[in-house]
Structure 1
Amino acid sequence: MSKPALANLFSDLPTSLAAELVNVLVETPAIRIERIVSTGHCSEPGFWYDQEESEWVIVLQGEAQLCFADGTPPKTLCTGDHLIIPAHQKHRIEWTSASEPTVWLAVFFPA
């Protein structure tokens, strides 16, 4: 059995990235937890996430806006804001803060 390892979600934050940085922190058959770092990133035009699993997401730092294909009003998330995105609710990242890294914590779980 491995020993507990201390880590910090805010360590080694890049200030500029060519693409979002995704670190899988925990993965089991039932759950996946990711730290995502965005530096002004957004979804490609016309692209929609359509995920098999549900997702709980929180913005730990920065800001972002999520849009939904079903007409749900866009959601602007600031530090501390969180929401659940049900499986197969098509969504996209409209924008993320360009003035500081946006740090997300995403928890994926069965629908």
Structure 2
Amino acid sequence: MANLFEAIPEGLPEELFDEVVSGRGVTVERIVSRGHTSPDTGWYDQPRHEWVLVLKGKGVVAFENGEPVTLGPGDHLTIPAHRRHRVAWTAPDEETIWLAVHYD
């Protein structure tokens, strides 16, 4: 058994990515941010769809061609494959725990 709210290091110099489970055409991962953002040098352009849910904290997902979306606990968002996006902001004073589902 595991818990998505546990095993988070006290110091978090980089975002933490943990694969929770994967199978045919799907990968589920936990992402933990604490004031982290995507690299300034580009956009994520993923070959698979992504559904993301914020379990704790707050974050902003920005899109190359579109308005940024602010997500808090319980908020979720589907990002179609190849829709260029980045994490523009996460709460600096608490963990933001994301559950991301990547699928075909």
Using the size of structure 2 for normalisation, the TM-score is 0.95
Cα shift readout 1:5-44 (whole Å, capped 9, x = no counterpart) = x111001223431110000011123100000000110012
Instruction: Name the counterpart of 2:16.
Output: 21
How many pairs are equivalent?
104
* CA distance in structure 2 between the partners assigned to 1:14 and 1:40 by the alignment: 14
Percent of pairs identical after alignment?
Answer: 47
Structure 1 residue corresponding to 2:80, chosen from 76, 86, 107: 86
* CA distance in structure 2 between the partners assigned to 1:47 and 1:59 by the alignment: 23
Q: 1:77 and 2:68 equivalent?
A: no
* CA distance in structure 1 between the partners assigned to 2:54 and 2:10 by the alignment: 17
Structure 2 residue corresponding to 1:40, chosen from 35, 43, 51: 35
Using the size of structure 1 for normalisation, the TM-score is 0.89
Instruction: Name the counterpart of 1:9.
Output: 4
Letter in 2 for 1:76: T
Q: 1:49 and 2:48 equivalent?
A: no
Where structure 2 has 5 or more consecutive residues not aligned to the other structure, the ranges are none
Structure 1 residue corresponding to 2:25, chosen from 13, 30, 38: 30
Asked whether the 8 Å contact 1:15–1:101 carries over to 2, the reply is no
* CA distance in structure 1 between the partners assigned to 2:27 and 2:45 by the alignment: 16
Could you say which structure has the larger radius of gyration? Answer: 1
Letter in 1 for 2:13: A
Instruction: Name the counterpart of 2:60.
Output: 65
Q: 1:99 to 1:15 in 2, by over 3 A?
A: farther
Q: 1:99 and 2:86 equivalent?
A: no
* CA distance in structure 1 between the partners assigned to 2:7 and 2:20 by the alignment: 15
